[in-house]
């Protein structure tokens, strides 16, 4: 199976790279054989950050988590609807980040980060069409035009219908960036929490590793949720996304199958989904501090489960390595 429009968001040394496949990924190599990468220079720090976290936490999906392929783009059909879907998804990303007014330049820049570049005139054309359709309205500040949703994006709607209007990929990558920062600063967050609340008899290094385990699982779930929405998209190649979701689900299972269902169904579930589908808003004034506090509380309360999960994962890795050498 060939992917003709593989869009890779990762960056290494300011150039596009395709990481090596692990033994496990070799079995699913049919999904990404002879990909044609879009060689767009990506120096965006958020993409680099996500790449680094995935390489550290789940390297077996490092060349898969950012996969995107739109059948409509490949076949050049329904391109007008495709552009509108993506533009509304970009404005949704800004909206969820707390920015309700978005300029044409900002839409253009974000479009080039997540999708194949198009002319600025194309962006302007579809923004004006969305304005005429009363989906967006615009405000001027001198020469700068800002676009704003005419109505608040719906919450609690079936994802099938939501993805008919919005591309959700930018919103999920934005969310993954937020938790990647928490992951990369795990040691600092744990130390600050201990200074404030104490750690009892807990080993700081164990708390640090368990904090990374929880935030890493959240990030994997974010990408699984993103893939699940892409499966529903009218423009996508659903079979490819279905195979990819299974691979990411296996990576999640490897790292969470003995953890408390209470923690998985509360903390991890609400952190890994966007607000449209029941996730928490991560852009409040004190949300970062509150989330760190809640994660550290889970790290302490579920200490034994988390330690056992890490031990089990390491044993699985050792067994697979022996099988590979054997």
Residues 6+ apart with CB under 8 A from 238: 231
Alpha-carbon separation of residue 14 from 9, 40, 65, 293 (angstroms)? 11, 10, 19, 35
Order of strands across the sheet that contains 136-141: 102-103, 144-149, 136-141
Token readout for 263 is 């923690």
Q: What share of the chain is helix, strand, coil (3-state, %, to 5)?
A: 60, 5, 30
Q: How many CB atoms lie within 10 A of CB 115?
A: 24
Task: Enumerate helices (H) and strands (E) in the chain, giving the number of each.
Answer: 15, 3
Per-residue pLDDT of the chain (326 residues; tens, 9 = 90+): 233 343 444 433 332 232 333 344 444 444 443 333 333 334 478 889 999 999 999 999 998 998 887 766 666 667 889 999 999 999 999 999 999 999 999 999 999 999 988 999 999 999 999 999 999 999 999 999 999 999 999 999 999 999 999 999 999 999 999 999 999 999 998 888 877 766 665 688 889 999 999 999 999 999 999 999 999 999 888 888 999 999 999 999 999 999 998 888 889 999 999 999 999 999 877 898 899 999 999 998 999 999 999 999 999 989 888 888 86
**In which residue ranges of the chain is CATH 1.10.10.10 found?**
76-149
Which CATH number is correct for 76-149, 1.10.10.10, 1.10.357.10, 3.40.50.2000, 1.10.3720.10? 1.10.10.10
How far, in Å, CA of 100 to CA of 63, rounded? 33
Residues sharing a CB contact under 8 Å with residue 223, sequence separation 6 or more, in sequence order: 61, 65, 172, 176, 248
- What is the residue-wise DSSP string for 17-67? --PPPPHHHHTTGGGSBS----------HHHHHHHHHHHHH-GGGTTTTT-
Distances in Å between the alpha carbon of 39 and those of 6, 9, 14, 32, 139? 10, 10, 11, 16, 35
- Helix axes 204-232 and 169-184, enclosed angle (nearest 10): 170
Q: Report d(CA 303, CA 142) in Å as an integer.
A: 56
- Copy the structure tokens of residue 221: 């779930």
| DSSP sequence for 221-288 | HHHHHHHHHHHH-TTB-HHHHHHHHHHHHHHHHHHHTTS-HHHIIIIIHHHHS-GGGTPPP--STTHH
């Amino acid at each position: 199976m060939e992917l003709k429009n593989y869009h890779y968001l990762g960056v290494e040394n300011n150039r596009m790279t395709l990481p090596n496949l692990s033994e496990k990924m070799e079995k699913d190599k049919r999904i990404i054989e002879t990909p044609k990468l879009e060689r767009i220079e990506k120096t965006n720090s958020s993409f680099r950050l996500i790449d680094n976290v995935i390489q550290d936490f789940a390297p077996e999906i490092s060349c898969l988590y950012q996969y995107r392929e739109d059948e409509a783009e490949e076949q050049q059909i329904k391109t007008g609807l495709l552009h509108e879907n993506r533009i509304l998804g970009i404005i949704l990303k800004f909206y969820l980040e707390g920015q309700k007014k978005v300029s044409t330049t900002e839409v253009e820049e974000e479009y080039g980060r997540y999708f194949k570049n198009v002319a600025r005139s194309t962006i302007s054309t579809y923004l004006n069409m969305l304005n005429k359709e009363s989906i967006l309205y615009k405000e001027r500040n001198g020469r700068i035009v800002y676009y704003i949703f005419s109505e608040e994006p719906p919450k609690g709607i079936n994802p099938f219908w939501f993805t008919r209007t919005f591309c959700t990929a930018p919103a999920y990558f934005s969310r993954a960036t937020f938790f990647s920062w928490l992951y990369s600063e795990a040691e600092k967050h744990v130390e600050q929490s201990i200074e404030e609340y104490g750690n009892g008899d807990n080993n700081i290094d164990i708390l640090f590793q368990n904090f990374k385990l929880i935030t890493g699982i959240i990030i994997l779930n974010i990408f699984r949720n993103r893939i699940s929405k892409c499966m529903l998209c009218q423009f996508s190649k659903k079979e490819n996304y279905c195979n990819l979701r299974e691979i990411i689900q296996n990576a999640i299972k490897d790292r969470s199958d003995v953890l408390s269902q209470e923690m998985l169904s509360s903390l991890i579930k609400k952190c890994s989904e966007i607000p449209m589908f029941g996730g928490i808003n991560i852009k409040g004034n004190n949300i970062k501090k509150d989330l760190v506090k809640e994660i550290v509380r889970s790290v302490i309360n579920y200490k034994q489960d988390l330690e056992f999960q890490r031990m089990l994962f390491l044993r699985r890795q050792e067994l697979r390595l022996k099988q590979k050498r054997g």
